[in-house]
Structure 1
Amino acid sequence: MTGETTPGQVAWIDTALWPGRLGLSPDQELADLGRLARQGVNVLALLIGPHEGERWDLPEVHALTVIACPIQGQAGLHGPGPFTSFLEELMEHLLDGRAVVVHGCGEPGWAGLSAVCLLIQAGMPPEQAVTRVRAACPGAIGTTAHEQFVDDFAAR
């Protein structure tokens, strides 16, 4: 699905960079995790803020493998550490043919930034990666700070 999404629908990003599928969850609260599983999602990738961790303690929810990356503001996305490991783990799932949905619990923009970084890591030029993510989820990468983050990630 691309363009505007309805509640509970995954915004799938159109790419053939890997055998798996990459999507974004447009639901801020992820109210119906079972619906994600019914849409074929295998892996739920969560970027969680400092007060979100206790909500996502379970390793599997509705047969979804849950991978969480704790983030302390956008600064937590830079450099080696949890975010880099998070992207590497998601890439392994995508290369293994799994459907991965990224959800940013703590701050708007984290999920889109993660998706763009995965596309760049797979070899897509940054501008094309941003365009693909925005096509799937309008409003993603919506600030100058997000665009700068993409530029910094691509330059590393």
Structure 2
Amino acid sequence: RLDNLLSCHAGLEALLNAEGDENCILVCTDHEEVGSCSHCGADGPFLEQVLRRLLPEGDAFSRAIQRSLLVSADNAHGVHPNYADRHDANHGPALNGGPVIKINSNQRYATNSETAGFFRHLCQDSEVPVQSFVTRSDMGCGSTIGPITASQ
């Protein structure tokens, strides 16, 4: 719950402080910790229904989706010194090291080379340090709403 509240707060602050004339939407869904399968979860119909109401004419919805980028914000667990072996030695998140781009070979996160590169570029332009977190392939991991939303 705390990671969801933190991400929602950061997203709301970013939305309120956004400049320019680009359209921005903040999506805060519920039930992420229990699989997101609910009417108000990421695997529910809410986001698509709202977007279709905002873009009801012709192919406006599909064109908007193709031109959009959704950032799935989540917390990353920093490397614990007593369990450092649970992380890839070169890709473990450090506390206060900046935002973390999560990467998993089984697509448990929505990250791909295009979105990771774009996010890195945004961080670089804003002089924000950024880290990569690559989960070990021999260890399980959680997931985020990213792959759920991306597959809708």
**TM-score (norm: length of structure 1):** 0.33
**Structure with the greater alpha carbon radius of gyration:** 2
